Every structure is written in structure tokens, then in C-alpha cells.
């Protein structure tokens, strides 16, 4: 599934620091914790909580965020719809990675078990 160049450009230029509070609000509103959110981000990117905070302090774009990440090899197992796009069919690599993160946050907020979110079985 192709996204538009404008959409991909917006994804690249968004900063992790501006989106992160929305992730926190979304998961906490559904009874999940910030610690669980950090665990999900760590699983996908390899960034521990300290590194996540550093990236926010530096106000890095998602482009830089994912350039510095060590994407989990099981990230390809993330499938399904998010924001009207089928994650596994997104052709732009950066946009796909951002949508992987969105999908994981969505699954966390929907109450999915952590082992399922982290593709452990």
C-alpha cells in the first residue's frame, strides 16, 4: 500500500517528543501504564527509558529516531490496520516503522496481553 509523498514527509518530520504524550494519554486512559509503554517502545527500537527521554530532549524527528533504532527482527510480525493503512503493506520504510509503533501502542491501549504485543508466542 502506497502512502503519498506528503504523508511520508509529515511522518519523517514529526518529532517523537510531540507524539509521545499522546501515546501516554492513550494507554493510561485505557488502564495501561507508562512503564508498559516504555517496554513496548524498547522492544521495537532497543531504546531503554533513559534513551527515550534523551531522544525527546533532543527533539529528534521520527526519521532520526528510527535511524538510531535497532528495529526488533520480529517487527515484521506486526500486521493489521492502523489509521486506515494495512501496516504490512506500507511501502515507505520510515512510514512503516512509525506505523509499527502506532500499532503497538494501539494494541497496548486495547488491552492486548503483553506477550502478544511483543510477538512472543
- Cα 1–chain centre separation: 19
Which residue in 48, 55, 42, 57 sits closest to 101, CA to CA? 42
**Superfamily in which the 5-117 domain is placed by CATH:** uncharacterized protein sp1917 domain (1.10.8.290)
Please write the tens of the pLDDT for every residue from 32-62. 999 999 999 999 999 999 999 999 999 999 9
Please write the tens of the pLDDT for every residue from 56-89. 999 999 999 999 999 999 999 999 998 888 999 9
Q: Residue 3: its pLDDT value, please?
A: 75
78 membership: H or E segment, kind and range: none
What is the spatial distance between Cα 32 and Cα 25, in angstroms, rounded to a whole number?
10
Dmax over CA atoms of the chain, in Å, equals: 37
Residue 118: helix, strand or coil by DSSP? coil
Amino acid at each position: 500500500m502506497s502512502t503519498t509523498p506528503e504523508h511520508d514527509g509529515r511522518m519523517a518530520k514529526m518529532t517523537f517528543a510531540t507524539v509521545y504524550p499522546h501515546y501516554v494519554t492513550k494507554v493510561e486512559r485505557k488502564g495501561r501504564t507508562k512503564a508498559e509503554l516504555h517496554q513496548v517502545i524498547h522492544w521495537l527500537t532497543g531504546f531503554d527509558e533513559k534513551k527515550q527521554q534523551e531522544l525527546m530532549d533532543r527533539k529528534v524527528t521520527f526519521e532520526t529516531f528510527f535511524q538510531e533504532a535497532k528495529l526488533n527482527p520480529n517487527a515484521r510480525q506486526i500486521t493489521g490496520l492502523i489509521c486506515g493503512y494495512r501496516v504490512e503493506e506500507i511501502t515507505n520504510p520510515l512510514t512503516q516503522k512509525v506505523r509499527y509503533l502506532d500499532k503497538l501502542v494501539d494494541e497496548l491501549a486495547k488491552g492486548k496481553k503483553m506477550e502478544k504485543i511483543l510477538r512472543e508466542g
